[in-house]
């Protein structure tokens, strides 16, 4: 291999390594997972991750420098969003790779979510049919702004922090299916535990909105606002 070829390879992999450095922080991965469900301000991200605003801003700066997230300023507020759908796809590849290769990851998944066979395995068309037939009540336990940005067809918004006060409003003669941000989101697992404690039949869906879309199923999105002009 010529000297020029080696130099080219080195430069290429140095650029790829920039992304590796951005992905090397657990907090930055959490930020990407939240942003994959919709744009957020620094303040909202800090609150969701239980981090200081200053610390969250530093992580966002690193992600922005690596071109994984982008920002828009509106007055005093800065809103961040993932730069491209490939960023979310890369995050899910890392999640799958970690579960395949790391014994510790498998142990964490089983500890918090139970064995995979305990999850509801149902095709999208079948789930939609069951919801429409009144056999399943589908609840989205993410924060309401994430639900409003896009949700599974027929789902109703019941944020986890509001679930306890709304449990009595849920039908007792149907299966309650809960979902959140995907297979590694604990909110749906906590929701199922609360529902079962109240003697309701509850299951956790592994798919979040992004996984659902990648499998080719439709997502209900907000209706665009009409212009006054």
Coarse DSSP helix, strand, coil percentages of the chain, rounded to the nearest 5 percent: 55, 15, 30
Beta bridge partners of 203: 177
Q: Apex CA 85: angle with CA 83 and CA 89, to 5°?
A: 120
In whole angstroms, give the CA distance from residue 83 to residue 106: 30
In whole angstroms, give the CA distance from residue 148 to residue 222: 6
C-alpha 130: how far from its chain's center? Answer: 24
Enzyme catalytic residues? 180
């Amino acid at each position: 291999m010529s000297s020029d070829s080696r130099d080219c390879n080195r430069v290429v992999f140095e650029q790829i390594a920039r992304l590796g450095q951005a992905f090397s922080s657990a907090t930055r991965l959490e930020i990407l997972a939240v942003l994959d469900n919709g744009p957020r301000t620094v303040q909202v991200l800090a609150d969701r991750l239980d981090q200081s605003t200053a610390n969250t801003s530093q992580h966002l700066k690193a992600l922005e420098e690596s071109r994984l997230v982008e920002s828009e300023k509106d007055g005093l507020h800065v809103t961040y969003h993932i730069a491209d759908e490939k960023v979310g796809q890369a995050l899910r590849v890392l999640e799958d790779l970690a579960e395949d290769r790391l014994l510790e990851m498998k142990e964490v998944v089983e500890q918090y979510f139970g064995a995979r066979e305990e999850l509801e395995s149902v095709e999208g068309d079948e789930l939609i049919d069951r919801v429409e037939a009144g056999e399943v009540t589908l609840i989205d336990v993410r924060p309401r702004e994430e639900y409003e940005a896009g949700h599974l067809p027929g789902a109703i918004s019941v944020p986890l922090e509001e679930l306890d006060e709304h449990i009595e409003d849920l039908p007792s003669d149907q299966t309650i299916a809960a979902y959140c941000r995907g297979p590694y989101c604990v909110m749906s697992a906590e929701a199922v535990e609360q529902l079962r404690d109240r003697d309701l039949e509850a299951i956790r869906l592994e798919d979040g909105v992004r996984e659902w879309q990648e499998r080719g199923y439709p997502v209900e999105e907000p209706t665009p606002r009409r212009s006054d002009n």
